[in-house]
Amino acid sequence: MALKILSSPPPEPEEIARDLAAAISKALPDASVDVQIGSPGHFELAVTSSAFAGLNRVKQQQTVYAAIAHLMAGDSAPVHAIDRMTIRTP
Amino acid sequence: MQVEPATRSRIEGLIASERVVVFMKGVRGAPQCGFSATVCRILDGLLPEYATVNVLADPALRDGIKAFSSWPTIPQLYVNGEFVGGCDILQEMLADGSLFETLGLPKPEIAVPNITISDAAAQALRLLASRSAGPLHLSIDAQFQHGIYFGPSEPGVLSLTVSGIAVEIDPLSAARANGLTLDAEARAEGPAFKIDNPNAPKNAEVRQMSVTELAQRIAASERLGLFDVRTPDERAIAHIEGARLLDSNLVERLERLDKGALLVFHCHHGGRSQRAAEHFAALGFTNVWNVAGGIDAWSQEIDPNVPRY
């Protein structure tokens, strides 16, 4: 079996969760964000923001995905999938 | 995330090229992932035609479409240049009925269709039912391709009992099934079911070509596509010079041809090739021919050197 030598250890899920929350808060300053850690690379998000008012469900989710796209891009992205996204307005 | 300008303009071109475009893994006839397959199955049930873009064939497009749509997963559905959603959203929209409006389709009237099962078919089905689990499922897609199979009961379908046979039919198929008759013919290899559906568009577009006419056209070096829809084993026994075996790769290529292309299909006796021709006629091809009598007629009337089998 081949061993892959990692130059730096992969980020801990807690660290990725903090990055997710920070990225969403940066894009949506009034947002309250709850991140649940799932299986490796998988997360669940609950986001409450006034920015979602008047948007349909796809547009609401696109807003969040646009904010976290850098964490999901590429083959070794820290975030593989958002298993569930809950959107609320305050 | 920024999209490369070249990729962005390609994506913009693709979503403007057709009313309904799916970015997916694989192609319509051969999806490479379950979510892409589900999206195709839903759209096949609703639309005779839509475009698909295989992102597996192009890494720049695969990453580009995710950034372009701000959507991290494939498949992705675009209608009239607008992003609609992925697999989950499409399933929800189908369930709540909003998908019809999005696709510009009338909402189907959901009513239990009137279906007839002949005595011969009922007898054959009862025998099959005794060896299978679950009701008989009947499906009819937007091209009026019919499917029947036994399987577990599914949610969200209409249930009816016809001639003692428990039948399940999904609402979209039900809207296309009223007046349908299911008949069967006993054959050595098992019953052959025949469906007569008065709602199916009449394929007057498929014309019959005699082997004499085919021979004349070939002799005149006419540019025609002659396609052999038999199995490779049959082709090894006998073939018509110049006919190409129709495999799934070739089907995909033909489907992309200009709709006026001259397409001629043959099989052993003319039955399978009629169905192949009807498939292309249903896609909008206008110059589609079936070789009446198939290669068997060719052997008898044109070229005795082609073996009969």
CA distance B174 to A37: 43
A35 at B interface, C-beta within 8 A: no
A84 at B interface, C-beta within 8 A: no
A88 at B interface, C-beta within 8 A: no
Q: In this complex, how many residue pairs, one in chain A and one in chain B, have their CB atoms less than 8 Å apart?
A: 32
Q: Are A69 and B84 in contact (CB < 8 Å)?
A: no
B220 at A interface, C-beta within 8 A: no
State the amino acid at position B307 in one-letter form: P
B72 at A interface, C-beta within 8 A: yes
Q: Are B69 and A62 in contact (CB < 8 Å)?
A: yes
CA distance B196 to B199: 9
B75 with B36: CB under 8 angstroms?
Answer: yes
Q: Which chain A residues are within 8 Å of B69, Cβ to Cβ? A: 62
Please classify residue B57 by burial: count the beta carbons closer than 10 Å to its beta carbon, then call 0-12 exposed, 13-18 middle and 19+ buried.
exposed
CA distance B307 to B309: 7
B146 at A interface, C-beta within 8 A: no
Is B146 in a helix, a strand, or coil?
strand
* pLDDT tens digits for range B59-72: 899 989 999 999 98
Q: What is the pLDDT along chain B (309 residues), one digit of tens a residue?
A: 578 899 999 999 999 999 999 999 998 878 888 889 989 988 988 888 899 999 999 989 998 999 999 998 899 999 999 999 999 889 888 877 889 999 998 887 778 899 999 999 999 999 988 888 899 999 988 778 788 999 998 877 899 999 999 999 988 889 899 999 999 988 777 788 989 999 887 655 788 899 998 998 888 877 788 999 999 999 999 999 989 999 988 998 998 888 888 999 999 998 889 889 988 988 888 889 999 999 999 999 999 999 999
- Output the CA–CA distances (angstroms, integers) from residue B152 to A64, B121, B124, B166, in the order listed: 39, 21, 19, 12
Q: Are B89 and A69 in contact (CB < 8 Å)?
A: no
Q: Which residue of chain B comes nearest to A64, CA vs CA?
A: B70
Q: Which chain A residues are within 8 Å of B85, Cβ to Cβ? A: 58
